Amino acid sequence: MTIQRFNTLAAWLDWQTTLHSQTIELGLARVAAVWARLCPAPLPFPVITVGGTNGKGSCVAMIEAIAQAADYRTVCYTSPHLLRYNERIRCNGEPVSDDALCAAFAQIDQARGDISLTYFEFGTLAALVLALAEQPDLLVLEVGLGGRLDAVNVIDADVAVVTSIGRDHTAWLGETLDEIAVEKAGIFRTGRPAIIGQRDAPAVLRETALQSGAIVQQLGYEFDDAPGDNGWCWRGISGERLSLPLPTLRGGFQRNNAAAALVALSNLHQRLPISCTAMRLGLQRAQLPGRFQVISEAPKWILDVAHNGAAAVALATNLRDFACRGRVLAVLAVLSDKEPEAIVEPLLPFVDQWFLTQSEDARALPATELAIRLAGLLPEPAVGCFATVDAALVAAQAASGVADCVLVLGSFTTVSRALMWHAAINE
């Protein structure tokens, strides 16, 4: 009989933040030891693991939607969440219940003995435990940080995807793109498909994949995408070509993520055949909150979790294509391990006024320090500094007109707070 240490999800999560000596400690030894006690045998269903600096959430969302359109049962593990922890583990598209999470946490707690686990490791193991109980047709795992030493890498994925390589989490992954690429490539396995969803990925990513003995399939090489009439064209690894509708996820760059998602699934066609109809439906049904999400009109409120330079470039492309009729007012808060200069620079041609602030995250960069970091980039009369996200949101709302756009960006915690604030004022 499994003994419950706590009766509520909130209590479990609060305790998990205090259990391990470090918030983030990369490495597989602890999580692998506990997982071996929970499940000594290989998983009986196929697994796709998705990593990358940007685009991995979009790729996961499209894989999930396409698989579901083909009537396959799915379990997806992603992070972080926007509003509720339950969002991190979805069974057939629905967040798991508090009771299911508490039961999984209790099972892990009993199995771990005296092994200390981080908050993220507990969540990863919970996703695996719940997948075992659910017995889905497909399990999709999103890498949290890096790849080689990330907790999800305890599972040998049948197919692994790296969507893109960019500068992020440099304190853990290295300062150069080559160093980061090697860490991301750690999810690839010998004799199994290794999908690279970036044409101009650092060469070392492909080289490392080949050296590992993986079956490398890269955008622009073994598969490709191209614009098409009223949609786009996908070329698969066998040379097949399909005309497909554009993904509902905004941005031309989403074609790359869609192409990678389709190739990942095509590598499982012997176990999970996917029809062209399911592909089309899935691309049109995939949703991902917090990625250029428009939540209201007059003024338009746009939420985007962009928190690194590459994501900001993608956001700038969307702003250019969106063509706001009035001004764009941006509320920005970032975490202390990010590079705010790299986030702001691509957006300068599109943003008329900046509201700098800080989230309640323990790792948040103080608003005053953010203002100092950006002093040389932003025009002084168009910048305000606010102690809380709520204060910045109130100021942006007051300064906006009906034709304007209010853009909230910089982190999941910033966008999460904006969602809650906006919902509260519109009750």
pLDDT tens-digit readout, 106-119: 999 999 999 999 99
Average pLDDT over residues 74-92: 97
Average pLDDT over residues 327-343: 95
In this prediction the pTM is: 0.95
CA 256 vs CA 356, 379, 402: distances in Å: 32, 35, 34
Classified as helix, coil or strand, 299 is: coil
Question: Residue 2's pLDDT band (boundaries 50, 70, 90)?
Answer: low
Could you read off the pLDDT of 122-148 as tens digits, one per residue? 999 999 999 999 999 999 999 998 999
CATH code given to domain 9-285: 3.40.1190.10
Please tell me the distance from the alpha carbon of residue 183 to that of residue 161, in angstroms, as a whole number: 13
| Domain boundary assignment for the chain | 9-285, 293-425
Centroid of chain to Cα 322: 23
Model pLDDT, residue 323: 79
Model pLDDT, residue 252: 85
Model pLDDT, residue 1: 58
Please tell me the distance from the alpha carbon of residue 275 to that of residue 112, in angstroms, as a whole number: 42
Neighbour tally for 341: CB within 10 Å: 12
Question: Residue 311's pLDDT band (boundaries 50, 70, 90)?
Answer: very high
- The answer to whether residue 172 scores a pLDDT higher than 80 is no
Could you read off the pLDDT of 201-249 as tens digits, one per residue? 999 999 999 999 999 999 999 999 999 888 999 999 999 999 999 999 9
Neighbour tally for 280: CB within 10 Å: 17
| Residue 266 · residue 388 · CB < 8 Å | no
Percentage of the chain exceeding pLDDT 70 = 99
- The answer to whether residue 171 scores a pLDDT higher than 80 is no
Higher pLDDT, 251 or 2: 251
Higher pLDDT, 55 or 172: 55
CATH topology for 293-425 is Protein-Tyrosine Phosphatase; Chain A (3.90.190)
Query: What are the b/e assignments for 96-108, b being 16+ CB within 10 Å?
Result: bebebbbbbbbbb
Could you read off the pLDDT of 254-269 as tens digits, one per residue? 999 999 999 999 999 9
- The answer to whether residue 302 scores a pLDDT higher than 90 is yes
- The answer to whether residue 24 scores a pLDDT higher than 80 is no
Q: Which 8-state DSSP code applies to residue 335?
A: B
Question: Residue 167's pLDDT band (boundaries 50, 70, 90)?
Answer: confident
Among the listed residues 210, 232, 211, 229, the one whose alpha carbon sits nearest the alpha carbon of residue 221? 210
Q: Which 8-state DSSP code applies to residue 366?
A: P
Please tell me the distance from the alpha carbon of residue 408 to that of residue 336, in angstroms, as a whole number: 18
- The answer to whether residue 318 scores a pLDDT higher than 80 is yes
- The answer to whether residue 21 scores a pLDDT higher than 80 is no
